[in-house]
Amino acid sequence: MKNFRFLFIPIILTISACGWFKKPPEIGKVLSEHFKNKIYKDFDTVAYDSVFVKTMSEVSENFINPKTIKSFYVSNKDEPKLVTKFYTNGNLDSLVNFLQNSTVHGINPKIFKTEEIKSLLQELGANKFKTVDESYPVIAKLEILSANAYLNYTNFLKFGVVNPRNIFSRYYIKVKRPDSAGMINLLGSESMIDTLRAVQPRSEQYKALQQAYLNASAEDEKRILLLNMERFRWKMPEMGENFVQVNIPDFKLTWFDKTDTVITMKVCVGGKREAGYEDKMKAFAKSGNLDDKPKNHETPLLFSKINSIQANPIWNIPVSIAQSEIYWMARKDPYYLSNSNIQVYYKDKLIGEPDTINWNKYSRDKLPFKFKQGSGGGNALGKFKFIFDNSSSIYLHDTNNKNGFNLTNRAISHGCVRIEKPLEFAEKLVGDGNTYDKLRAEVDLPPIDSTHIKWYKKRMAAKADTTKSFQLKPAWFGPKKAVPLIITYITAWSQNDRIEYRPDIYGMDEKLWTAMKKFR
């Protein structure tokens, strides 16, 4: 009897190897129970995998993140994870609803293949497959298109439709973008509906623009609102509740403390680049002639922190300005440099008499000189310079030309930002009465605190003493705390329960509109 019993062991092993006792995969169990349909108990993972691979190859050609999606399924043995987890609980139906409603964000549902996903859901839900093999193409395509739509929808709302750093040459703000690890985590999430709800933009500015977009009828207005909704979707650096914003189209600086405005003032920003700039740059690249080089003084968009204040600043004149302006002025007027308090350096050595330089000997594209304008009333930077780290040598500063603040279009600088109320801005930055009085004294203003009058008078006496040589030099002051600064570009926003609109002075709306064309 024992010997007879052992004869069954190889037989059982053989039957097991043939798959007789093989359990259906999870998708088979889920669909079999949901539809009360036994065909899904015959779900063959090998046969399905073949269909899945072929379908992925056919439909993923135009995906935004095909490698990430393929990587997810490779690591999960091509299992239909989304259909398994989210079909029977209605999450895939909810996905379709969110996709159809993407119009409220100015996005076209067609880009997600919404109708095709909806049709596949209906085909699967009809439960009319005669054999399980007939379901494989439907499940595979539903799985892949849903994964792609799910990722794209969440990425668009959480990070924006486009990456501004790929569009604008002077966009230096490091916006956060979706990464493969985050997307794979999304595909592996346990609740699709929770994710879809969580990514809805919640800022008050976005909601106000969205409401105005849904109420607007004029196409031009809807376009501007849509573009600025996109800007508010971009994942900006963390600025905290206390920060300074310069909005270029508004020509305004605003210091925010939570929702309150600490101070606001007019600014002058960089002038718009020349018309036909791209074509002219191509011509310049070929000729190398500075006469062919078009002007571009647009202020870059950036994020940094204001870390120091310089009273009575020295202006290190950029090479581009020296070539395009200083050179010609010096040739025209031999006393221009000394009258403008501009020092000239040759190999880092000061030239004592710059008015004697024979400018006819030098071509402006190979000037061997450096130029610096000394501290004082005629300095182009005025009495204050506000410094923050950036790669474009940009800063906020005072100006000796106050008339610019009376202009409607204040895009008139060489790129830096001139501010209307530098003294008030400096006071807010230092945040300390003693330091502020010292700063005032550097620019010949009496102290606020009467106990500081004595040393203020002493300084003024030294300056007025004609028997001694008093040289005005830059003085440095540190803010109480480094203050975040963002120079941005917004042409529509909510203020006092109404939408404010500003002209697209740099043509950035046009570029963004073109980039978003395929998503509208």
Confidence of residue 3 (pLDDT cuts 50, 70, 90): low
Q: What is the pLDDT of residues 326-336, one digit of tens each?
A: 999 999 998 99
The mean predicted confidence, pLDDT, of the chain is: 92
Burial call 19-54: b when 16+ CB within 10 Å, e when fewer: eeeeebbebbebbbeebeeebbeebbbeebbebbee
Give Cβ neighbours of residue 327 (< 8 Å, ≥ 6 apart): 359, 362, 364, 367
3-class DSSP string for 100-165: HHHHHHCCCHHHHCHHHHHHHHHHHHCCCCCCHHHHHHHHHHHHHHHHHHHHHHHHHHHHCCCCHH
Confidence of residue 455 (pLDDT cuts 50, 70, 90): confident
Average pLDDT on 119-129 reads 97
pLDDT at 126: 97
Q: What CATH number belongs to 236-314+374-505? A: 2.40.440.10
CA distances for 355 relative to 199, 229, 341, 370, 376, angstroms: 64, 55, 12, 15, 20
Confidence of residue 364 (pLDDT cuts 50, 70, 90): confident
Name the segment(s) of the chain with CATH classification 2.40.440.10.
236-314+374-505
Confidence of residue 21 (pLDDT cuts 50, 70, 90): very low
Q: Is 452 a catalytic residue?
A: no
Report whether 156 contacts 107 (CB < 8 A).
Answer: yes
Q: What is the pLDDT of residues 164-184, one digit of tens each?
A: 999 999 999 999 999 999 999
Asked if residue 256 has pLDDT above 50, the reply is: yes
Distance, in Å, from the CA atom of 128 to the CA atom of 130, rounded to the nearest integer, reads: 6
Catalytic pick from 105, 268, 297, 416?
416
pLDDT at 55: 98
Positive or negative, the CA dihedral 28, 32, 38, 39 is negative
Between residues 360 and 408, the one the model is more confident about: 408
Q: What is the pLDDT of residues 502-511, one digit of tens each?
A: 999 999 999 9
Catalytic pick from 105, 397, 414, 452?
397
Distance, in Å, from the CA atom of 505 to the CA atom of 4, rounded to the nearest integer, reads: 93
Confidence of residue 261 (pLDDT cuts 50, 70, 90): very high
Confidence of residue 212 (pLDDT cuts 50, 70, 90): very high
Confidence of residue 345 (pLDDT cuts 50, 70, 90): very high
Of 114-128, 231-245, 318-332, 449-463, where does mean pLDDT reach its minimum? 449-463
pLDDT at 470: 65
Q: Is 268 a catalytic residue?
A: no
State the pTM of this model: 0.89
pLDDT at 466: 64
pLDDT at 460: 85
pLDDT at 365: 86
